[in-house]
Amino acid sequence: MANAASSSISQTELLAIPLHLVLPLPCSESECLGINREHILCHASSYAFLVLIANIEEYAPIVYTPTVGLVCQNYSGLFRRPRGMYFSAEDRGEMMSMVYNWPAEQVDMIVVTDGSRILGLGDLGVQGIGIAIGKLDLYVAAAGINPQRVLPVMIDVGTNNEKLLNDPLYLGLQEHRLDGEEYLAVIDEFMEAVFTRWPHVIVQFEDFQSKWAFKLLQRYRNMYRMFNDDVQGTAGVAIAGLLGAVRAQGRPMIDFPKMKIVVAGAGSAGIGVLNAARKTMARMLGDTDIAFESAGSQFWVVDANGLITEGREKIDPDALPFARKIKEANRQGLREGASLVEVVRQVKPDVLLGLSAVGGLFTKEVLEALKDSTSTRPAVFAMSNPTKNAECTPDEAFSIVGDSTIFASGSPFKDVDLGNGHIGHCNQGNNMYLFPGIGLGTLLSGSRIISDGMLQAAAECLAAYMTDKEVLEGIIFPSISSIRDITKQVAAAVIKEAIEEDLAEGYREMDARELRKLSHEDIESYVENNMWSPEYPVLVYKED
């Protein structure tokens, strides 16, 4: 692989060029074997991906969280050119023809958002397309999806952000968001259009508000090849982290159903994690109705109004399965609406899991209550993004709860020096560990849908990636620098599960029958051979 710095363009210049390709490159590789600056610029974006892949741990926070949040907040003022497709409410009835405006004959991966809940920053309207662009850059870097076969999409149905509605520079529709059947009609038309032109494309839904995230997932998941990263990807990474926390106590993953978990946050991410964790526990307990009911008793869910019990009025239907019975809560010394610190103090959980998007929610009082946990190594998962929305910092967790704490976060933090040569490891539970492998595995398997089993296989593969020595040291997520190898293994696990569930239909020359003949090692080789890599000869100046 060539070092981009050996050409006449610096790494800094390359990274300043937008990574996402929206058009075919102006000249073929065979025409770009020259050494002048103009020819190098023809492939500058591919060289930029080369730099990103080679330095993924350093540059991922620039391409994605936390930098992407700041970019989205200021996107209208930064806009220079379209870097994806925009479908608006005013395009109703025209989307089927609009999709043919995109120049790529084949698209493998679409990331779509309506901008209604960007990270923990709220409704950013059309400016949220930055999320779709960043995610697809990671698909290219981590999963080796060809950059000319990805498509960022913004569905503009208005915004309820009053600041944007009154901003003369705002690029989107300056009207309040569509709702109800009108909203669904727009999304329905979009989905029908893209799958008509590209029947084998995979669509990842990103940063839709909780109100719609679950409804759209249930509406489309058995019809199209799609998934919601906030609901399912976040859940998978959290499950992998929770299984890692079990291993960090020196226990087998099968002990996961014994974990007591307090969850702060009942939005799309929180409920997604709860549903996935409950299914994982139930499967470990025998996958029966009784097992599923038993698994539900391991969770205590706290939202902005406190502990959720069956005594709450107008309870969110998605949260209802996790509402504690009133008598059960009373026996625990708790009541409807009990505060987070009260719940932690009474439950003494193994894990305190934050998916609230409320920065600093894990106060000193809450963390001190966790010190009485019945676990030998209590875990603090401050998973909200961006960094300012993290429920606590690693310094706070280690200094208050103790050196044996297992810490994970959604955004990157530096490890903590605990003194005496000991390090408090800050594990970043980044969705980047899973969504590239889920997408790549689905693509290469040719699976008709993305099943719960495929998502579960991805999470368990990630959880098993770390060695016993590493997890006992408190390292429950691998280094981002290994992301291509992680993605390869996750994709292989997804393909294997798709085959076992008889969902795989094959990809290109590898049909379903041939897929079934492959060993696990063969599947990994198959994945690796289908990952795009930007490899170029070293370019140097030759003086006459």
CA 110 to each of CA 148, 163, 226, 229, 471: distance values in angstroms, whole numbers, following the listed order: 12, 29, 9, 12, 35
- Pairing mode of beta strands 351-354, 109-113: unpaired
**What pLDDT score does 31 carry?**
41
User: Which of the pair, 160 or 30, is modelled with greater confidence?
Assistant: 160
- Which of 372, 370, 174 has the alpha carbon at shortest distance from 382? 370
Q: What is the DSSP string of 310-331?
A: TT-TT--TTTGGGPBPHHHHHH
- Which of 279, 332, 327, 277 has the alpha carbon at shortest distance from 299? 277
**What pLDDT score does 27 carry?**
41
CA torsion 409→410→412→413, rounded to 10°? -20
**What pLDDT score does 101 carry?**
95
Confidence of residue 41 (pLDDT cuts 50, 70, 90): very low
**What pLDDT score does 301 carry?**
96
Annotated binding residue 522: no
Confidence of residue 544 (pLDDT cuts 50, 70, 90): low
**What pLDDT score does 417 carry?**
95
| Average pLDDT across the chain, whole number | 89
Active-site hit among 47, 59, 75, 135: 135
Q: What is the pTM of this model?
A: 0.84
Annotated binding residue 74: no
Q: How far apart are CA 515 and CA 513, in angstroms?
A: 5
Residues 349-361: what's their mean pLDDT? 95
Q: Examine the pLDDT at 82 and tell me if it is beyond 90.
A: no
CA 270 to each of CA 156, 167, 236, 238: distance values in angstroms, whole numbers, following the listed order: 26, 32, 12, 10
Annotated active-site residue 135? The verdict is yes
Confidence of residue 530 (pLDDT cuts 50, 70, 90): very high
Phi/psi at 38 (nearest 5 deg)? -65, -40
Active-site hit among 64, 170, 526, 536: 64
Per the CB < 8 A criterion, the answer to whether 400 and 368 are in contact is yes
Q: Provide the β-strand partners of residue 407.
A: 380, 426
- Which of 438, 450, 393 has the alpha carbon at shortest distance from 233? 438
Annotated binding residue 544: no
Confidence of residue 46 (pLDDT cuts 50, 70, 90): low
**What pLDDT score does 20 carry?**
40
Q: Examine the pLDDT at 134 and tell me if it is beyond 80.
A: yes
Confidence of residue 11 (pLDDT cuts 50, 70, 90): very low
Give tens-digit pLDDT for 440-490. Answer: 999 999 999 999 999 999 999 999 999 999 999 999 999 999 999 999 999
Residues 511-531: what's their mean pLDDT? 95
**What pLDDT score does 25 carry?**
37
Q: Could you tell me which residues come within 8 angstroms of residue 503 by beta carbon, excluding any fewer than 6 positions away?
A: 445, 447, 448, 449, 451, 454
Q: What proportion of the chain, given as a percentage, has pLDDT over 90?
A: 74
Annotated binding residue 395: no
**What pLDDT score does 38 carry?**
43
Annotated binding residue 117: yes
Give tens-digit pLDDT for 239-259. Answer: 999 999 999 988 999 999 999
Q: Could you tell me which residues come within 8 angstroms of residue 255 by beta carbon, excluding any fewer than 6 positions away?
A: 246
Per the CB < 8 A criterion, the answer to whether 408 and 394 are in contact is no
Residues 422-430: what's their mean pLDDT? 92
**What pLDDT score does 67 carry?**
86
Q: Give the other-Cβ count within 10 Å of 92's Cβ.
A: 14
Annotated binding residue 530: no
As given in the structure block, the two tokens for residue 261 are 């978990």
Annotated active-site residue 64? The verdict is yes
Q: Provide the β-strand partners of residue 306.
A: 303
